[in-house]
């Protein structure tokens, strides 16, 4: 007989080993840094940085030092501002070199120079707006905007006749220059690639861009003098002179906008059997419409303040004239010119009217830009969200 079976001892359960990935085997994790004593923050092993308030502190100290120096030497605000910027551009990069690195100091120096250049560019704009508002805002009222200068001597009168003339002449110049400029740009981009005629048109457009405005006025006067005789003055002649200044800007801006339209859109339209002219009308132009409107607005803003060509061909008058093809026509730039050069007695009233007309002209230009932005946003191609 066999003896009783002996019980074999149970194998002890093995403790599971932690699973490690190959990445952990090759690149073991570094131990976490201990917290600093009493700080509650992890110790930083990177490059030290200046605190976020360093720029404000340096700016305050630089401004205080510049103000003290200006008071001591009797400088004006502009001199103190220049000294403050120079001190800031020296102090902040120097502090950055001592604490951070030379690379960070160069970055702070360039940033300071960029902001300084931006502020310098804003100085003429802010100064202009402040001067015009300070001198012209008190003149603006209902009578100034709705009355002309007919039979007015000294105080009173308005710029209604100049506003009407400016709007009519600028509108006529736009109607002349926009079709010519847009069609020229379409030919240069869509039909005149590597064409001698296109290169000739481009050269002539570049030449027209640098034409002085007085030359455009003389050309318009000589042209209309051939048909109406010497001494001719009319608003349409001023529109022709302004169109010579607008056409190069319209051509260049429209050309660049048409070049930005992707060629894939044209090829997709051609693949569907759409002819070239219909592709331009239905695909290319709607895509480039916001940029085209912006270019046209810039061209209008370029010529709406021109004085020399209108002095030569449009002339001046104290009455309202709504006929572009007969008699003289007053515009806002010419009104401002005569109000300063021939203000009358006493001169204060004429100069005040000039400042008011300048403010109205600036408002008209700003309104045109806002309208152009609204139209461009309305007619721009809709994209899916």
Domain-embedded: residue 63: yes
- Look at residue 175 in the predicted model and tell me its pLDDT: 94
Residues 89 and 193 in one domain: no
Domain-embedded: residue 228: yes
Q: Give the end-to-end CA distance of the chain in Å, rounded to a whole number.
A: 90
Residues 258 and 129 in one domain: no
Residue-wise pLDDT tens digits, 49-92: 888 898 899 999 999 998 998 888 888 888 888 889 899 999 98
- Look at residue 75 in the predicted model and tell me its pLDDT: 83
What are the C-alpha distances in Å from 241 to residues 39, 191, 206, 249? Answer: 75, 29, 17, 14
Residue-wise pLDDT tens digits, 108-120: 999 999 999 998 8
**Alpha-carbon span 273 to 279, nearest angstrom:** 10
Domain-embedded: residue 138: no
Predicted TM-score (pTM) of the model is 0.74
Residue with more model confidence, 213 or 13:
213
Q: What is the mean pLDDT of the segment spanning 37-56?
A: 65
- Look at residue 19 in the predicted model and tell me its pLDDT: 54
Domain boundary residue among 76, 111, 133? 133
Residues 79 and 195 in one domain: no
- Look at residue 17 in the predicted model and tell me its pLDDT: 52
- Look at residue 70 in the predicted model and tell me its pLDDT: 86
Report whether pLDDT(6) > 70: no
Residues 267 and 184 in one domain: yes
Domain-embedded: residue 37: no
Nearest to 315 by CA among 341, 333, 340: 333
Q: Count other Cβ atoms within 10 Å, centred on residue 275.
A: 10
**Alpha-carbon span 324 to 167, nearest angstrom:** 11
Domain-embedded: residue 264: yes
- Computed over every residue of the chain, the mean pLDDT equals 83
Residues 268 and 363 in one domain: yes
Say if CB 382 and CB 360 are below 8 A apart.
Answer: no
Domain boundary residue among 71, 102, 133? 133
Residues 195 and 327 in one domain: yes
Total domains present in the chain:
2
Report whether pLDDT(4) > 70: no
What are the C-alpha distances in Å from 164 to residues 64, 235, 363? Answer: 52, 11, 15
- Look at residue 170 in the predicted model and tell me its pLDDT: 92
pLDDT above 70 coverage of the chain, percent:
86
**Alpha-carbon span 83 to 295, nearest angstrom:** 40
Domain boundary residue among 77, 101, 133? 133
Residues 189 and 304 in one domain: yes
Say if CB 244 and CB 218 are below 8 A apart.
Answer: no
Q: Domain range holding 126?
A: 54-133
Angle at the Cα of 288 (from 211 to 262), degrees rounded to 5? 115
Residues 179 and 293 in one domain: yes
Residues 371 and 327 in one domain: yes
Length of the chain: 385
Report whether pLDDT(253) > 60: yes
Highest mean pLDDT among 248-252, 296-300, 344-348: 248-252
Q: Indicate left, alpha or beta for 259 from its phi (over 0: left) and psi (-120 to 50: alpha).
A: alpha
Say if CB 186 and CB 207 are below 8 A apart.
Answer: no
Domain-embedded: residue 292: yes
Report whether pLDDT(127) > 80: yes
Where is average pLDDT lowest: 10-24, 133-147, 162-176, 334-348?
10-24
Residues 160 and 264 in one domain: yes
- Alpha helix (H) residue ranges in the chain: 22-26, 54-73, 77-99, 102-136, 142-146, 160-186, 196-209, 213-228, 235-259, 263-271, 276-279, 285-303, 308-313, 332-341, 347-379
Domain-embedded: residue 89: yes
pLDDT above 90 coverage of the chain, percent:
32
pLDDT band at 132; cut points 50, 70, 90: very high
Residues 99 and 218 in one domain: no
Residues 161 and 125 in one domain: no
Domain-embedded: residue 240: yes
Report whether pLDDT(95) > 60: yes
**Alpha-carbon span 278 to 282, nearest angstrom:** 6
- Look at residue 29 in the predicted model and tell me its pLDDT: 52
CATH of the domain at 266: 1.10.3720.10
């Amino acid at each position: 007989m066999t003896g009783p079976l002996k019980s074999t001892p149970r194998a002890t359960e093995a403790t599971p080993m932690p699973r490690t990935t190959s990445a952990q085997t090759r690149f073991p994790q570094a131990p976490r840094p201990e917290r600093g004593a009493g700080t509650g923050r992890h110790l930083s092993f990177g490059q030290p940085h200046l605190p976020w308030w360093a720029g404000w502190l340096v700016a305050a100290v630089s401004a205080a030092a510049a103000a003290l120096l200006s008071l001591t030497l009797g400088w004006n605000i502009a001199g103190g501002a220049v000294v403050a910027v120079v001190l800031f551009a020296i102090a902040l990069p120097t502090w950055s070199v001592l604490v951070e690195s030379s690379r960070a100091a160069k970055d702070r120096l360039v940033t300071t120079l960029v902001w300084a250049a931006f502020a310098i560019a804003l100085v003429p704009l802010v100064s202009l707006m402040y001067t015009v508002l300070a001198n012209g805002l008190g003149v603006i009222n209902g009578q100034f905007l709705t009355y002309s200068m007919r039979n007015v001597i000294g105080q009173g009168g308005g710029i209604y006749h100049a506003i009407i003339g400016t709007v009519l002449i600028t509108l006529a110049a736009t109607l002349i220059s926009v079709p010519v400029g847009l069609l020229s740009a379409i030919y240069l981009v869509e039909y005149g690639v590597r064409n001698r005629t296109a290169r000739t048109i481009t050269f002539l457009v570049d030449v027209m861009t640098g034409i002085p405005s007085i030359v455009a006025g003389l050309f318009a006067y000589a042209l209309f003098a051939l048909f109406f005789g010497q001494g001719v003055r009319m608003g349409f002649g001023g529109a022709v002179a302004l169109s010579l200044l607008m056409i190069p800007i319209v051509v260049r801006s429209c050309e660049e906008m048409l070049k930005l339209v992707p060629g894939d859109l044209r090829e997709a339209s051609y693949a569907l059997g759409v002819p070239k002219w219909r592709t331009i009308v239905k695909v290319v132009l709607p895509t480039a419409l916001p940029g085209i409107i912006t270019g046209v607005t810039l061209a209008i803003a370029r010529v709406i303040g021109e004085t020399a060509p209108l002095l030569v061909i449009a002339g001046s008058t104290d009455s309202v004239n709504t006929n572009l093809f007969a008699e003289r026509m007053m515009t806002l730039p010419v009104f401002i010119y005569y109000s300063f050069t021939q203000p009358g007695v006493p001169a204060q009233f004429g100069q005040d009217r000039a400042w008011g007309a300048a403010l109205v002209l600036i408002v008209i230009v700003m309104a045109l830009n806002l309208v152009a932005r609204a139209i461009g946003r309305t007619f721009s191609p809709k994209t899916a969200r």
